[in-house]
Structure 1
Amino acid sequence: MSTAPANVPAPSTLPTLLIVDDEEGPRHSLRMVFRQDFNVHAVENGDKALDYAKAHPVQLAILDIRMAGKSGIDVLRGLKAIDPHIEVIMLTAYETIETARQALRLGACDYLSKPFDLSTIREAVTRALHLRRISETVSSTSERLKALSEQLNDASVKEEMARTTTEIYAGALHDINNPLTVITGYVELLRHKLDSVGSLYGADLQAVREDVNLLAKQVNTCAAITRRYLRFVNKRSAQAPEVSVNQVIDDVHTLMRGHPSLRGGKLSAKYLERDASAQIGGTELIQILLNLTVNAFQSAERPQTVWIAAERYDEPLKIETFRDTPEERFINLESFANHAPLVALSVIDQGPGIPQDVLSRIFEPYFTTKAQSGTGLGLAIVVRLVKHHCGLIQVKTKLGEGTRFTIYLPAKEPNNSANPFGT
């Protein structure tokens, strides 16, 4: 078994103190004062100091302001650029108020005059080390809080997405209820007919045959509805997802037919004249449009007409002209796959519009203007899904006139043999 050579020192666990002074005397004095409590590294110019800080973690630094080459102010600026948490003490034999102000503005924690006495420099270093440890604690706590917040956001968004899936199931039950009601009625009618006659001949037999055919048709309707909604919630395949735009618009129209948010309103649709396949899963696109459509109906107290409108682009968008304004916002411009063909799906309402202070926050998780019923996660889900598929969100609003949410997604020519639900 091999052992480490005896002359190799163990790694230092002491904090590192970087001393920068072009005079040998102060460098030597400070090294002797702090060598027991710090891993001291002393250099004679700013370039060596910055090279060392780039290659090694530094907790504290003591800088002379006036040096040949880079000044102490330049070195301070460079150290803070490398690590903003490095605590820096400035030393000078030529003190001026302006220099002191400049050093403090750049983040120096103390400013001492030469010559300095031993107790003063020790106190300054003790304070600086205390500040560094507080900074590290705050930074570590902030990172843990950020990680915890992201975990909570993920859990909440997943819960909200599960709720949307539950709404799809509820839509299935609602749609199946109508043919089941017809079936129940005809079963009762048939039982009554059969109870009232001993045997069936002629017109009575023909009437029963017609009723049975109608029952079979309603059963087939139930089966078709079940298959349709099961496709909505099927797991996505490993292949790149795609879904017919016109099919999804039709599906959302069906899902919204009995939705309580309608409140006497009307959902209208403008389909693509030439269908295209959006590069996204069918369930995901349905979730996006459902969230936007429900929000649109909830934007006004009175009944209104909400439009879902589809448009196709066979050339890239001129995104260099897209700019946020008090009435318009863009989300995910930096990661948008702006390659033709593209499809745009807009949800347009006739509500009161979105005030500027609200428009700047609507995509934040948990932000809601619906104090009693809103979770503040619907638009966060939209952002997550659109970003995941390299899409773009545009919001255009005008107070007193309404709002238009547009989702731009990569597309391609429809594959007639592919599953229209993108699952």
Structure 2
Amino acid sequence: MNTEPVESVSTLPPETEPRKFTLLVVDDEEGPRQSLRMVFRNDFNVHTVDSGEKALAYARDNVVHIAILDIRMSGSTGIEVLESLKAIDRRIEVIMLTAYETLETARQALRLGACDYLSKPFDLSTVRNTAARALHLRKISDTVSSTAERLSELNHRLSDIALREEMARTTNEIYAGVIHDINNPLTVISGYVQLLEERLKNVAFIHGDDLEKIRSTIDYIGKQVGTCTAIASRYLRFVTKNEAPGRHLAINQIIADLQALLNAHPEVRFNRLCVKPLDIDATPQIDATDLIQILLNLTINAFQSTDRKQTVWVVADTLDRAPDFPHPLDTKTEFLLGRETFKHQGPVISLSVLDQGAGISPETLPQIFDAYFTTKSHQGTGLGLAIVARLVQTHGALLHLKTRPKEGTTVTLYLPRQG
């Protein structure tokens, strides 16, 4: 196919180049093998074999940059070896060599990824120029691959930075905003309750049971206001003062706080939130603010799973140890996060969020914890569940998702139990 030297690539890299590339010569004839070894011994690490099977075995265990294949060999043909080499490493630049050149064979070899085609007998200048072109292509391929890897790493780092920034934003804006929105009206309500109580002290015409009922109601309202204000103050303090992580709260307190926070959320307004706390309270080994963040994201996501009115449950339980999930899972209906990082073998607390939505499709399921992935075109940033994934992995927790088409989804978080 190539009979004239190409001036622009007429020389191989100098011997002083620090790295030698590997040339694999595959020919069942001793003469061509040894000739090619002698030609390239100073330019490449030359490895010769007399069969396709040996060539593939070598390529599986070693990096091969260029291969020269005889098309007609006993056993596997050069075309078959070419196809298998490309399957092992698509970057291997392959030069086909034969004494029986046909146009169709050349086309077939090029279709399968060969970079060039030589006829026997070959002259020294032609074969050296052909190898030089192949090496040039391989260097370009390696550069492209290296650049692609660097770009992938850069994209990963940028995504990681964006996710960290979003986590900081949600910590400082979403929590501070939600809690601030709750705290302000509750402060006003508390003031009105105190004012009303003062006025009632001077009202003489309300007597007996009516007065006691009013005072009882005011007392109840005052206690609830105080409770909600304490919730707001506690989490606002965690967020804004940048205190060290590790503030743990009992699960039933977390659930009560979650319920109070969600009662003011627009997603819950026309739906129903039910909670089942622990019969005997326990404390998980996780920062309370992070756990609230996980539960808020999971619960709000559950409420957004359908446009219909629904009931979302948050259920707490204690187990002697986390379940042993099968490996592999049914990837059409299940997702497990943290299998590699969850090392706890002792008692755990489980927190399940159950919705009555449409479920998650098998096509969508593998992507739901990816940053910026969302099925909600008009709401959300696609980072809520990505933040959940980050926090689960950060705290060495385990998260299992089970979805049922047209029935709903259950997400269960497993946390090591203190004590």
The verdict on a shared fold, with TM-score over 0.5 as the criterion, is: yes
1:350 aligns with 2:369: no
Amino acid aligned to 1:177: N
Change (3 A) 1:76 1:356: closer
Of 243, 250, 266, the match for 1:244: 250
**Structure 1 contact 160–378 (Cα < 8 Å) conserved:** no
1:230 is matched with which residue?
A: 237
* Partner SS, residue 278 of structure 1: coil
1:150 aligns with 2:156: yes
Of 364, 368, 374, the match for 1:362: 368
Of 145, 161, 167, the match for 2:174: 167
1:177 aligns with 2:184: yes
Of 296, 307, 310, the match for 2:302: 296
**Structure 1 contact 233–283 (Cα < 8 Å) conserved:** no
Change (3 A) 1:262 1:215: closer
1:277-307 Cα deviation digits (max 9, x unpaired): 3232222211111111111112222332211
* Partner SS, residue 143 of structure 2: helix
In 2, Cα distance between equivalents of 1:232 and 1:246 = 21
In 2, Cα distance between equivalents of 1:61 and 1:253 = 67
Figure out how many residues of one structure are paired with residues of the other and give that number: 383
1:128 is matched with which residue?
A: 134
In 2, Cα distance between equivalents of 1:220 and 1:274 = 21
1:260 aligns with 2:250: no
Alpha-carbon distance, 1:263 to partner:
2.9
1:41 aligns with 2:46: yes
Indicate the percent of aligned positions where both proteins have the same amino acid. Answer: 47
**Structure 2 contact 25–48 (Cα < 8 Å) conserved:** yes
* Partner SS, residue 30 of structure 1: helix
TM-score by length of 1: 0.71
Change (3 A) 1:279 1:112: farther
Change (3 A) 1:21 1:352: closer
Unaligned stretches of 5+ in structure 2?
1-14, 201-217
Alpha-carbon distance, 1:328 to partner:
2.9
In 1, Cα distance between equivalents of 2:407 and 2:71 = 62
In 2, Cα distance between equivalents of 1:32 and 1:322 = 52
* Partner SS, residue 95 of structure 2: strand
**Structure 1 contact 59–87 (Cα < 8 Å) conserved:** yes
In 1, Cα distance between equivalents of 2:274 and 2:223 = 32
TM-score by length of 2: 0.71
In 1, Cα distance between equivalents of 2:174 and 2:375 = 22
1:26-85 Cα deviation digits (max 9, x unpaired): 35543565578x345355678899889978x65323355789999989997997798653
Alpha-carbon distance, 1:229 to partner:
3.2
**Structure 1 contact 109–128 (Cα < 8 Å) conserved:** yes
2:290 is matched with which residue?
A: 284
**Structure 2 contact 231–257 (Cα < 8 Å) conserved:** no
In 1, Cα distance between equivalents of 2:368 and 2:261 = 25
Alpha-carbon distance, 1:133 to partner:
2.9
1:320 aligns with 2:321: no
1:59 aligns with 2:60: no
Of 74, 77, 92, the match for 1:86: 92
In 2, Cα distance between equivalents of 1:294 and 1:280 = 21
RMSD: 4.6
